[in-house]
């Protein structure tokens, strides 16, 4: 069963700001600035490898909901163990690789639900990563996958849905395909977002916040357009206003 929406989805709640830093102080300061203007923040491998659970707790103390983006990929038993290990932190969204297969995804979803019940909070969304956007058709071929990226994304999205995940991470250009392959309540978490006129940086397949929401995204993951802005809260507010229709 899909997770309950852990918070109301007003426009600002749909924005999770990626705090791609190894510095706890910097992450805490940004989380404080963004309090009340975004739905939460995303902490990834870079932050967690540097600061671990203590760093997570320092950011969580600001009251900000946290998307813990560790992209677990291992045998089912180990992924379930990793989810149990981070469960006391009460993340709102967790990520795993769908390429771990159906049994790994099922165990991840079940474990997240059991742990949330045990710790007394709403089940986090367990979102699947399909094909990393850094990979193209020739990279897939190099690892023995002869399907093109789009077909493989659709296959893994459908499998993630069937295996009990709550949603998936997808690029803006995959939103429509992912929606068709899954269901209306499957949560589409979408990075690669750039407000009109902002720098793309290293992102190649970008979409504006309004277009991504219009295409069917549930949550937008936005980093540098907010974190590098002179006034991060104002930048986030402008993005929220742009999707408020």
What is the C-alpha separation between 71 and 57, in angstroms, rounded?
Answer: 19
Task: Count the neighbouring beta carbons within 10 Å of the beta carbon of residue 68.
Answer: 21
DSSP state of 34: T
What is the C-alpha separation between 54 and 63, in angstroms, rounded?
Answer: 15
Site for ligand C5P in 37-96 (CB under 6 A): 44
E runs forming strands in the chain: 15-18, 40-44, 66-72, 93-97, 125-129, 167-169, 187-190, 219-222
3-state secondary structure of 40: strand
Told to check if 167 binds ligand C5P by CB under 6 A, we report: no
CB of 114 to ligand C5P, least distance (A): 27
CB of 157 to ligand C5P, least distance (A): 14
Among 221, 235, 239, 243, which residue interacts with ligand C5P (rule: CB under 6 A)? Answer: 221
Whether residue 22 contacts residue 220, with contact meaning beta carbons closer than 8 Å, is answered with: no
Among 34, 169, 217, 219, which residue interacts with ligand C5P (rule: CB under 6 A)? Answer: 169
> Nearest-CA neighbor of 31 among 7, 63, 53?
63
Among 12, 111, 133, 163, which residue interacts with ligand C5P (rule: CB under 6 A)? Answer: 133
Active site residue 71: yes
Among 28, 224, 236, 237, which residue interacts with ligand C5P (rule: CB under 6 A)? Answer: 224
CB of 30 to ligand C5P, least distance (A): 12
Binding mask 91-130 for ligand C5P (x = CB under 6 A): ----------------------------------------
Instruction: Between 20 and 211, name the residue whose CB sits nearer to ligand C5P.
Output: 20
3-state secondary structure of 16: strand
DSSP 123-187: PPEEEEE-S-TT--HHHHHHTT--S-HHHHHHHHHHHHHHTT-SEEE--GGGHHHHHHHS-TTSE
- Of the residues 71, 92, 123, 176, which is catalytic? 71
Binding mask 180-219 for ligand C5P (x = CB under 6 A): -----------xx--------x-x----------------
Instruction: Between 2 and 195, name the residue whose CB sits nearer to ligand C5P.
Output: 195
Which positions are catalytic? 71
Interface with ligand C5P by CB under 6 A: which residues? Answer: 18, 20, 44, 133, 169, 171, 191-192, 201, 203, 221-224
């Amino acid at each position: 069963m899909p997770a309950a929406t852990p918070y109301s989805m007003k426009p600002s709640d749909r924005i999770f700001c990626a705090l791609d830093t190894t510095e706890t102080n910097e992450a805490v300061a940004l989380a404080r600035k963004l309090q009340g203007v975004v739905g939460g923040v995303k902490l990834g491998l870079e932050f967690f490898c540097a600061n671990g659970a203590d760093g997570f707790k320092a950011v969580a103390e600001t009251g900000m909901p946290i998307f813990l983006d560790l992209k677990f990929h291992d045998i089912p038993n180990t992924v379930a163990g990793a989810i149990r290990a981070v469960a006391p932190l009460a993340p709102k969204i967790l990520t795993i690789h769908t390429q771990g297969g159906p049994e790994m995804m099922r165990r991840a979803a079940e474990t997240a639900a059991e742990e949330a019940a045990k710790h007394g909070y709403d089940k986090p969304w367990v979102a699947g990563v399909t094909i990393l956007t850094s990979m193209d058709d020739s990279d897939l071929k190099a690892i023995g996958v002869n399907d093109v990226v789009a077909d493989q994304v659709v296959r893994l999205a459908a499998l993630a849905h069937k295996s009990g995940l709550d949603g998936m991470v997808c690029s803006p250009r995959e939103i429509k395909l992912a929606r068709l392959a899954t269901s209306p309540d499957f949560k589409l978490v979408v990075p690669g977002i750039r407000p009109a006129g902002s720098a793309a940086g290293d992102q190649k397949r970008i979409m504006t916040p309004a277009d991504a929401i219009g295409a069917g995204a549930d949550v937008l993951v936005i980093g540098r357009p907010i974190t590098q802005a002179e006034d991060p809260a104002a930048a986030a507010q402008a993005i929220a206003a742009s999707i408020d229709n």
